Each structure stands twice: as C-alpha cells, then as structure tokens.
C-alpha cells in the first residue's frame, strides 16, 4: 500500500469543528454575563502581569475592558445558517455545538418555547446540510437563577439540570443521536471553584469537591434518563487532557507526573466510565512537569517550556502528545471522539501544519487499534475564549471573524482541512 493509502481514515469517520453557545451566539444572559461586566476592568488591568511582553505587543486589545465582555460575540445566534453553509463548503459532515440553558429556562420552571423552536431550527439546518449534530447540554454558563442558588455547589442544581435535560432529550430525540450532557466538568471545577479565575470565581477545595460530586451525579443521572427516553442515544462526556511528562528523570518529577495524571485523568475516567457510551477527548498541549517548592497544591507543578513551537497563548505544540492521551483514554474501553483540538494562531501560519501533524498521530493511534471515530477542530469561528476569561484576542477559528463588522473569512487552514476531509486521508 502506498503512503496515501496507509493514512486513510476509517469509512464513516466524522469530520467537523466545534463551538459553544456563549462563545459564539451573542446576546446571552447567564451567570457569566454579569461576571464579565463586574470583572472586565480588573482583567484588562491585570493583563500586563499575566501575559508575556511579545503577547502584549501583538495583542494590545487585551488591555481593553471590552475584550472581556462577550456581548454579541459572533452573532452566530442569527447567522448560524451562514456559518453552517461555510462548514459544508469546508466538507464537514458533523458539527459540535451547545444549547444555552439560560435561553431555554430563563426563569425557574419556565421554558421558553421560542428558544426551544430556535434550537430545533438549528438542528434542522445541520441535518439539511448533512452535518451530524453533537449536542452539548452544559458548556459551563448557567441560568442566572441557578447562579443565585450557588450553581453546582448546590445539590439542588442537579435536579434542575435533569429537568432541563429531560425536556431537551424529548424535544429533539428525532434529530439528535450524539449527546454530551457536560463539557469538561473537571476544568470548570478547577478554574471556577478552586483557582477562582473564571465564574463563579470561588477559591475553595471543599466547595470544588462538592461541585465535582454534583456534576458527576448530573452526568450519571442524565445518562440513565437519556437511555430511558431512547436506547439509540449515544451519551458522552468530554475531558481536557494534557500530555503530562516529567521534565526530566529526577524521581520527584516522575512522581509529580504520576500524581498529576491521577488527579487530571485517572480519577475522571474511573468516575465517569459507567455513565458514558463514548469519551470526547480535548487536547491542546504538552505539560512538561517540574516540581517546585511553595504555593498551593497545583502551584507546585510548573510547566517547563521544552518545545520551540508555541501558540499565541504560549501553549507548547506537541502533536505526538495526542497519541499519548488517546492511549490513556483508550484504557476506558470506550469509543473516542476528539471533540476539541486547536491552536490560537491569529496569523494562521502554524494552524495548517498543526492540523496535519496532529491528524498523522491520530491515524497512528487508530492503526494501533484505538477506537477513534471522529475529529472536531476547535474552533469553527474565532470566538470569545472564556477559559480563564481571555476574551476575543486569542484566535482559534478556521474562519476569521472581524469582531467589528462580523465579516466571515475562511483562513488558509480552512481549505487545508477541507482537502484532508475530501480525501478522508492525511498524507
């Protein structure tokens, strides 16, 4: 077999990109919306300490408070058909997106029929274009009334979430096969409840543990609920994974890598394995771990820079690492979809190679027997990057967005990805 044939992906492999409602739709009104307004000035003032000099010079908008307010975002709420047309042009046959809970249930127990119909039209638009929907029910923001009762630290949030999930499962059961009740629950617990650098802005191990337990129960109970509605539903959960390596062979760094792997990965797969039909793996970078003294628990783990290639966020680009995380995830025994993999690269100079190189290692993993069934690039559009509240300056999109005019412009990487999809092959 020639090289091209060797790099063929399985028949029926799903190709697409991913978004989340709060990051692209615009006009949301949830517990994050107010947090953004309350913290925008502080985030802008603190950018000089958080980011390196080259990043500050390249992205001066990080010093502007409006960078940290999602506002109209990409106006995807109104322009989803235009965006799905572009995805279709790009050859995509699947699309991952989220439903915004705060639109569906803006007040406790009051469901908005207009918004339910809106997302029905979104799903029909995807189906019309031959795009398989992967639907996330919770991609971090909550309705304001959920935030007011303490969000996920309050065990009552589980029952309210299940009521919302039940309504959505029943409304769209003939349009959706693949459901993801939660997006990266561990990441939100760490950043929102332990470090406090994104909503709800809490720094408490006790509260973080309570939130994680409640999210875990929400996943387990929504899995049972979904299966009671339709046995054809495929239920997954996404998990953010570093490729974790000791910086050197010093025994304390080797031990530190094992400890971090346990808390970041092993615990997640153990806890969620019986409430998933598949796992969504989200991989971006290498973590070269170096133990240092002082600081809180996670503060002792330093990520040493060891790769020459970095994203605009300073993340270490290490394509081979996706093999390692996929091997780790495969121990769960469940099928895998790569539900996020991308790079902040405003100039689009590194993204084409980033995609090709990562997909070479995805194919290598498949050839080694790992059951990988799809790849979703993050992201379809330049969006509001709300992890740690970075705002609009990091550009992850296959499609460039002018946030002043909202003009859409496919990047070179958009067309490179299209070629790979068209051939179902990376060579």
Which domains are delineated in the chain? 15-236+335-423 (3.20.20.80)
Residue 403 has pLDDT above 70, yes or no: yes
d(CA 59, CA 47): 10
d(CA 323, CA 319): 8
| pTM listed for this prediction | 0.96
Tokens representing 28 are: 């949301």
Model confidence at 301, pLDDT cuts 50, 70, 90, reads confident
Give the mean model confidence (pLDDT) for residues 172-189: 97
- Report helix, strand or coil for 287: strand
Query: Under 8 Å CB-to-CB from 294, ≥6 apart: which residues?
Result: 300
| Span 331-361, pLDDT tens digits | 999 999 999 999 999 999 999 999 999 999 9
Question: What is the predicted pLDDT for the residue at 166?
Answer: 98
* Rounded alpha-carbon distances, angstroms, from residue 45 to 50, 68, 393: 10, 11, 15
Longest dimension (CA), the chain: 61
| Span 124-159, pLDDT tens digits | 999 999 999 999 999 999 999 999 999 999 999 999
| Span 240-257, pLDDT tens digits | 999 999 999 999 899 999
Are 198 and 386 in contact by the 8 Å Cβ rule? The answer is yes
Give the mean model confidence (pLDDT) for residues 393-412: 98
Token pair 């096969």 is found at 177
Neighbours of 162 (CB within 10 A): 17
Question: What is the predicted pLDDT for the residue at 300?
Answer: 67
Question: What is the predicted pLDDT for the residue at 2?
Answer: 44
* Number of residues assigned to the chain: 427
Question: What is the predicted pLDDT for the residue at 294?
Answer: 55
d(CA 134, CA 15): 11
Tokens representing 394 are: 């990091």
């Amino acid at each position: 077999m020639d090289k091209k044939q060797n790099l063929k992906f399985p028949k029926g492999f799903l190709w697409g990109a991913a978004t989340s409602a709060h990051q692209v739709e615009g006009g949301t009104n949830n517990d994050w919306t107010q947090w953004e307004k309350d913290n925008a000035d502080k985030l802008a003032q603190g950018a000089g300490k958080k980011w390196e000099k080259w990043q500050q010079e390249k992205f001066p908008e990080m010093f502007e408070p409006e960078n940290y307010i999602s506002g109209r975002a990409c106006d995807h709420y109104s322009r989803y058909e235009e965006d799905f047309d572009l995805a279709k042009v790009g050859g995509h046959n699947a699309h991952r997106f989220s439903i915004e809970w705060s639109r569906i249930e803006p007040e406790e127990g009051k469901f908005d029929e207009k918004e339910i119909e809106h997302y029905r039209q979104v799903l029909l638009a995807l189906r019309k274009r031959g795009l398989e929907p992967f639907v996330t029910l919770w991609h971090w923001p909550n309705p304001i009334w959920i935030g007011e009762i303490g969000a996920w630290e309050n065990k009552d949030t589980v029952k309210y979430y299940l009521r919302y999930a039940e309504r959505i499962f029943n409304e769209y059961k003939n349009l959706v096969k693949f459901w993801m009740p939660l997006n990266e629950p561990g990441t939100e617990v760490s950043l929102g409840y332990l470090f406090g650098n994104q909503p709800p802005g809490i720094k408490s191990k006790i509260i973080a543990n309570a939130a994680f337990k409640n999210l875990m129960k929400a996943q387990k109970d929504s899995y049972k609920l979904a299966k009671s509605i339709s046995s054809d539903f495929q239920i997954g959960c996404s998990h953010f994974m570093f490729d974790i390596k000791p910086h050197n062979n010093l025994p304390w760094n080797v031990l530190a890598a094992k400890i971090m792997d346990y808390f970041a990965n092993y615990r997640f797969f153990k806890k969620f394995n019986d409430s998933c039909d598949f796992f969504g793996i989200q991989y971006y970078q290498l973590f070269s771990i170096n133990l240092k003294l002082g600081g809180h628990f996670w503060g002792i783990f330093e990520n040493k820079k060891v790769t020459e290639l970095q994203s605009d966020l300073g993340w270490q680009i290490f394509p081979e690492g996706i093999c390692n995380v996929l091997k780790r995830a495969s121990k769960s025994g469940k099928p895998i979809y790569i539900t996020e993999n991308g790079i902040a690269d405003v100039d689009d100079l590194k993204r084409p190679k980033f995609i090709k190189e990562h997909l070479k290692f995805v194919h290598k993993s498949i050839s080694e027997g790992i059951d990988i069934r799809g790849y979703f690039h993050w992201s379809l559009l330049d969006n509001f990057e709300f992890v740690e509240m970075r705002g609009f300056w990091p550009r992850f999109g296959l499609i460039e967005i002018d946030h002043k005019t909202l003009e859409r412009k496919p990047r070179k990487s958009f067309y490179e990805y299209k070629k790979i999809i068209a051939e179902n092959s990376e060579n």
